[in-house]
Amino acid sequence: MIEFANVSKTYGHTADAPKALDDVSLRIGSGELVVLIGGSGSGKSTLLKMINRMEQPDTGTVALDGQDMVHMPLRELRLRMGYVIQSVGLFPHWTVARNIGVVPTMLGWKPERIAARVTELLSLFDLDPTTYGPRYPHQLSGGQQQRVGVARALAGDPEVLLMDEPFGALDPLIRTALQDEVKRIHQASGKTIVMVTHDIDEALRLGTQIVLLEQGRIVQVGSPLALLSQPANKQVADFIGRSDVGIKLLSLQSAGSLARVEAPQSTPFLPASASLREAVSTLALHGCQSLNLLDDTGAHAGVLHATDLFNRRHTGSLPLSDDQGQHA
């Protein structure tokens, strides 16, 4: 668990210097995917960097598993954490395999164990180890470089993964694919992930908890559903966006959650894991009233009817559980 207690930070030494963080207290539970979000200058990146002591608080404490980080050896602390940044930061003169293996090498792993871990991670990110392991960063696309960056951060099997706007420079299609990768890895590994973004849709898509900051203070902490359905104040509602809250709510629930147990129909197909937002788009695109749903193996998983999307008996204005919101 990561805990911030009454943390403040000021850049500058004048009396009127603004606080980057102002008396922030926050608990991040083990296994959570916490998204820090806010406008420019809100303090979200400063908060993230305090977790691996790239920034130090002026007052207050930051603790990992109950131990004040200031008393922990810096190298030991950072080897317990993976770190992913927007610019990737791969070593240009090293191969992909060597880049991924850098932290395990520092941890003293044997070469065969390192090679096996590199192969495992490249395969996890759908990069063929034989093809991509010997390549250099300049021989990869932007999306491939970012995949390798995340793989490198995970290579030493860290307890915590820190991500500072990792997908901000990527085009929308690659960005969505990598968001799906991070969600899948989080669900499979149960690692604690703390991520900074300025994109509310990304936060809603990935976070189990969202922390909204403004001018160095926490405005609201909650699940995606809580922020959408119960914003703490007008400021939160404005940040989330009032005009399309209903559409955002649809993105938190899977199509499979409203499936009827029926035989396949002569209508288009959609993965049961797709969101209701995607289902609405598909229904509109094809001008149909129902969709056949497929499970992960491609088998029939029921039928989604358009009428059920807007039937309060089925959705109750989408009173989702947190689990549904996290896995949609």
Domain extents for the chain?
A: 2-243, 248-327
CB atoms within 10 A of CB 157: 13
Report residue 193 as tokens: 């992930």
Are β-strands 192-197 and 160-164 bridged in parallel, bridged antiparallel, or unpaired?
A: parallel
pLDDT at position 161 is 93
pLDDT at position 243 is 60
How many whole angstroms from its chain centre is CA 132? 25
CB atoms within 10 A of CB 306: 15
pLDDT at position 242 is 65
* Cβ(273)–Cβ(301) below 8 Å: no
Report residue 169 as tokens: 């420079």
pTM check: above 0.85? no
Torsion of CA 47, 52, 57, 60, to 10 degrees: 90
pLDDT at position 99 is 96
Domains 2-243 and 248-327 share a fold: no
**pLDDT one digit per residue (tens) for the chain, 328 residues:** 999 999 999 987 777 788 899 999 999 999 999 999 998 889 999 999 999 999 999 999 999 999 999 999 999 999 889 998 876 689 999 999 999 999 999 999 999 999 999 999 999 888 999 999 999 999 999 889 988 998 999 999 999 999 998 887 677 778 888 888 888 889 888 899 999 998 888 898 899 999 999 999 999 999 998 888 888 988 888 888 766 777 777 777 889 989 999 999 999 999 998 888 888 889 888 999 999 999 989 999 999 998 888 764 444 444 444 443 443 3
- DSSP of 45-93: HHHHHHHTTSS--SEEEEEETTEEGGGS-HHHHHHTEEEEETT----TT
Q: Which amino acid is at 272?
A: A
Q: How far apart are CA 70 and CA 61, in angstroms?
A: 8
The CATH homologous superfamily of the domain defined by 2-243: P-loop containing nucleotide triphosphate hydrolases (3.40.50.300)
Does domain 248-327 fall under CATH 3.90.1280.20? My reply is yes
